[in-house]
A and B are shown apart, each in its own frame.
Chain A
Amino acid sequence: MSILFDTGPPLQPEEFRLLRELINRFCGMTFSDDAQYVFERRLRDRVRELGLDDYTQYYHHLLYHPNAKAEMEAAVDALVTNETYFFREDYQLRAFRYEVLPELRERLEGEGRRSLTLWSAGCSTGEEVYTLAILVQDSKLFEGWDVRIFGNDISRRVLAVARRATYGSSSFRAMPPEYEQYFVETPDGRQVVPHIRGMCHFGHLNLLDRDRSALIGRADAVFCRNVLIYFDERARSRVIDTFYERLYPGGYLFLGHSESLLNSTTAFELVHLSTDMVYRRPRTKISFGGKGERT
């Protein structure tokens, strides 16, 4: 596709707004007014691929075609940059490794539960999922436990990359050298070793789909970093409600450094760790008008 002289159909402001709203309803993502050019460039290939004349026809395709959902996913995939890397925001991961994991281990053992479930929500190409698995493994706190790390994304393309578990150099830009042992060299890049891969599961899930999120079961910690920034307030609230529902009481929620629940919900309590602050689902369970219960 030409960058400088593309002769594809222009995206009209009204078409942009319709497409933007449709995508927002589908996955909660929000785009600013100046994203019109991004929409035009990144969806042009989809319009061409489907043999359509303009973006109105593409909008109709997304509204009426029996495979509209798959095309909507393709559109989101084209619009979103999925770049991530291993050990991103390491100060938070240190807090998770040295403060949260020991607390979870002690508490879960006390409850007689020898299973640990982590959820990387919006996992993109999977680096965060494998990072979490490596941290759990490296901590040696959960040997002999049933450990599962689940990653989900709305894009099938990035999930295919995640399952392949083979990465180029840019994915390793922040990885401390002591974790090299969890990778092997292959002709296509460095691949995550099998025993770490075995702890990880990937699924195709729209975070707005509350019913399907039940497939994950309950989690001890949810990582949703640098994902909610793309959502509008309404979608953010829905997703956070889902996290609350899916977390065990006492379970942790990790957000990106620029993200906060301050204006979205009061249901989580703030926990001050030595290098970070995280959210936690309170352990008190009370129902007004009924019986109170403590866990």
Chain B
Amino acid sequence: MDSEDPEERRRATAALASAGATDRSALLIRALGDVDWRVRKEGARIAATVAEEWGLLPELVDGICQGENVGLRNSALEVLERLGPRAANALLVALPRVPEAARKFVVAALGFAGGAGVEKLAELSRDPEPNTAQAAIEALARVGGERAEEALRGHLAAEDPVQRLAALEGLERLQAQVSLEALTPLLQDRLVRRLALRVLGYSEEPGAADALLDALEDGGAAALEATVALGRLLSRGGPVAREMARRAKQLGEPVRKQLRGVSQSGRDEARRAATWVLLLARDEESLGAAAELAADDRLPPIALDVIRRWGGPAIGPLVQAAPGLPPRARAVALQMASDLAARAEPAPDVLKALRVALRDTLQSGDGIAVGAAAEALGRWAEAEDAPALVAAARAFPEHVARAAGRALERLAASAPDAVEAQLGSLPLDGPLGAALLPAVAALGGQSATDLLQATLNADDPRARRAAVMALPKLGGERAVELAGFALADEDVDVQVAAVMVLGQLSRGGELGVAQLRLALRASFEPVVAAAARALGQIGDRASLATLRELVKEGRPGVAVAAMEALRLMEDPALDDLLVEALGQDDEELVKEALRAIAQSDTPRREARIGLALEHSAWDVRQLAASLLGQLGTDDARAALSRRREREADRGVRESIDTALDADLDGEEG
């Protein structure tokens, strides 16, 4: 610790936790005040783990109160922050003896101590010493919760503008609701106006939309804040958002122009909000920006819903915007136009423009745009498009080839000759074959059957798998026979595909069931699992004994599928398997057993499911809560209530609440 080299001191500090030195506490406090930040950081890391055990809390509080070493103060504050609620008592005890000048630091530290300090902070936020009051307001914003929000709201009318500002900042940080009545005077206050607008974004009063739109019309920097707040209002849905949607249609051109500017170049949240408001306003020029945001999944589904409801009239503007957009956004714009056209029966000239745009994009060099154009063209393609679709499939990576293959598959229905002319001479091994075989199958006829059969022996397993997946289009005994052959394929995915196909072909009859039973003895686990599921869906009771054996064998992926099949067939012997399954390590297996228990009429089902509320995996507990909620018995409710008190996982707690509420609804109903 005396070395001049900070790296040596840092390592010495790191070693303190395991060292037995009698003066280790003093050395650690010394490290917290070291001149080198790495030594201080290392000290803080160690101190956070040993502070209580070594009795360091009073010294840490002293550290934040002293005024000579800023490094020590910051490090001590960091340790107290890491300790959180565990430091609350030491801080509260120390407060009365701390010199006035240093109180703000203790108050700041209380902000990390959780709810234990909230009452004291609320009191100190009205302290006559302004620095202390200010620090308390900031600390309340860190603590959060109803009491802290209430205390912060109480400062919105403070005489001191700095306190008003701090309270608003805190409320914004907590995303707290503030009444329009309380915010209205602040909207006239130039110092806090922008913050007040942001807070308005969390309002649930319909008048909030009016206030924000007024601010938008005023222009200037506040307009940007109002835009962001409008986005927040819209995200929350409800009556305010509905009011907003109604008002948006009446927006004047100056406001629209301003929003367009933000939608093109603002920061992310503002861009999204501006685009959303413009979409609500049915502003055609916003569709390009919407496509750009949607391309990166930055436009929320409810904003996309606005375009859906816009419908046919949006097709033309989307097609017009597409050429000027980056490739990914162009792809999205054309896909959206195509989606809308499929439901809106657009005018012939609009449809023609869409076709032209899709064909142009199909010829572009960008894989993403070409893939999207091929996919969308599937609905609108004509015989003349077949060569370009095949060319796209050949020139671009697999996912583009698959999109082109799907388009050709659709085209095969309306222009089979054109498709056959393009596919007839192509080598269909490899990924290209995998992409185009569905189109071949859609052509039907003997030549398609021959080609599929030939491809079942292709070198590339992807092509073989695609050939198998296309077999249902042929149907009949021949397809079952060929799928049966594919069960002997050396590739696991080809075998799984064969099982899926046999499952489809065998529904409603015996065709293929014998092959599926054989697949229960396959060497690949996913094949066995797929066969078990297929037989369960068919309801093949002749497989019950084998399925029970598969549950007992304990291979998780197989056992889950076999148990699912037995549950579907309501196997009377399933109950005997469940207790053991509940004790398995694999969580999916435990969950499947719980579903089966819930479905059974075993007398101890609530107790058994209730045990799963103690499981270490959150998803098992969540499912158990949901199943108990569905059962809705007194025992189930009691088990849920007991667990609610101790449940630490937020998602599971919500499921328990939902389960208890649902049960209550049922009783009331």
Contact = CB atoms under 8 A, between A and B. Distances in A.
B473 interface: no
B41 A266 contact: yes
Contact of A3 (B332, B402, B529): B332
A2 B403 CA distance: 12
A282 B11 CA distance: 11
B112 to A, nearest CB: 14
B336 A286 contact: no
B339 interface: yes
Interface string A163-180: 000001010000000000
Nearest to A1: B375
A41 B492 contact: no
B340 A63 contact: no
Contacts of A45: 399
A266 B307 contact: no
B11 A288 contact: yes
Given A168-B366, A288-B12, A266 B492 contact: no
B190 interface: no
Contact of B526 (A65, A270, A282): A65
A43 to B, nearest CB: 12
Interface stretch (A11-19, A142-150, A226-234): A11-19
A284 B41 contact: no
Given A17-B651, A60-B588, A4 B304 contact: yes
A63 B619 contact: no
B335 A37 contact: no
A183 to B, nearest CB: 17
Given A3-B332, A64-B557, A284-B5, A13 B651 contact: yes
Interface string B303-341: 010011000000000000000001000001001100110
Given A14-B622, A266-B38, A5 B343 contact: yes
Given A4-B336, A5-B339, A14-B619, A262 B7 contact: no
A170 B326 contact: yes
Given A3-B335, A81-B296, A284-B7, A262 B41 contact: yes
A45 B588 CA distance: 24
Contacts, number: 94
Given A5-B343, A17-B619, A266 B10 contact: yes
Interface in B281-318: 294, 296-297, 300-301, 304, 307-308
A112 interface: no
A286 B7 contact: yes
Given A18-B619, A282-B7, A64 B297 contact: no
Contacts of B496: 51
Contact of B45 (A37, A51, A266, A269): A266
Given A14-B619, A266-B38, A63 B557 contact: yes
B651 A3 contact: no
A188 interface: yes
Contacts of B301: 37
A126 B5 CA distance: 39
A66 B492 contact: yes
A248 B534 CA distance: 56
B497 interface: yes
Interface size class of A (residues with CB under 8 A): 35 or more
Output the residue of A2, A17, A170 with the most chain B CB within 10 A.
A2
B148 interface: no
Given A4-B336, A37-B300, A45-B399, A269 B38 contact: yes
B467 to A, nearest CB: 14
B331 to A, nearest CB: 9
B524 interface: yes
Nearest to A66: B492
A4 B308 contact: yes
Q: Which residue, A3, A41, A64, A288, has most C-beta atoms of chain B within 10 A?
A: A3
A42 interface: yes
A219 to B, nearest CB: 20
Interface in A59-83: 60-61, 63-67, 81
Nearest to B15: A288
Contacts of B529: 60, 64
Contacts of B493: 67
B560 interface: yes
A51 B37 contact: no
A282 to B, nearest CB: 4
B158 to A, nearest CB: 34
Nearest to A40: B301
A38 interface: yes
A65 B45 CA distance: 41
B525 interface: yes
B204 to A, nearest CB: 20
Given A5-B308, A60-B588, A286-B11, A66 B524 contact: yes
Contact of A51 (B12, B402, B469): B469
Contacts of A282: 7
B144 interface: no
A3 B314 CA distance: 14
A3 B304 contact: yes
Interface in B335-353: 335-336, 339-340, 342-343
B500 interface: yes
Interface string B23-61: 000000000000001110110010000000000000000
Given A66-B525, A269-B7, A286-B7, A188 B365 contact: yes
Contacts of B623: 14
Contacts of B619: 14, 17-18
A17 B493 CA distance: 27
B635 interface: no
B634 interface: no
B225 to A, nearest CB: 21
Contact of B497 (A51, A262, A266, A289): A51
B560 A38 contact: no
Interface in A1-49: 1-5, 13-14, 17-18, 37-38, 41-42, 45, 49
B667 to A, nearest CB: 26
Contacts of A269: 6-7, 38
Interface string A253-287: 00000000010001001100000000000101010
A79 to B, nearest CB: 10
B63 interface: no
A168 B369 CA distance: 13
B42 A3 contact: no
A155 to B, nearest CB: 13
Contacts of B366: 168
B8 interface: yes
Nearest to B343: A5
A63 B588 contact: yes
A38 B293 CA distance: 12
B231 interface: no
Contacts of B6: 269
A2 B340 CA distance: 10
Contacts of A289: 15
A17 B8 CA distance: 43
B556 interface: yes
A34 B45 CA distance: 31
Contact of A2 (B294, B335, B500, B525): B335
Contacts of A49: 402
Contacts of A170: 326
Nearest to B555: A64
B7 A2 contact: no
Contacts of B7: 269, 282, 284, 286
A289 B297 CA distance: 54
**What are the nearest 7 A-B pairs in CB distance?**
A64-B557, A4-B339, A266-B38, A284-B7, A282-B7, A266-B42, A266-B41
Given A4-B304, A17-B618, A288-B15, 11 more contacts: A3-B339, A17-B619, A45-B399, A51-B469, A64-B525, A157-B397, A266-B38, A266-B45, A269-B7, A284-B7, A284-B8
11 contacts: A5-B308, A17-B618, A41-B297, A45-B399, A64-B526, A67-B493, A81-B296, A262-B41, A266-B38, A286-B8, A288-B11
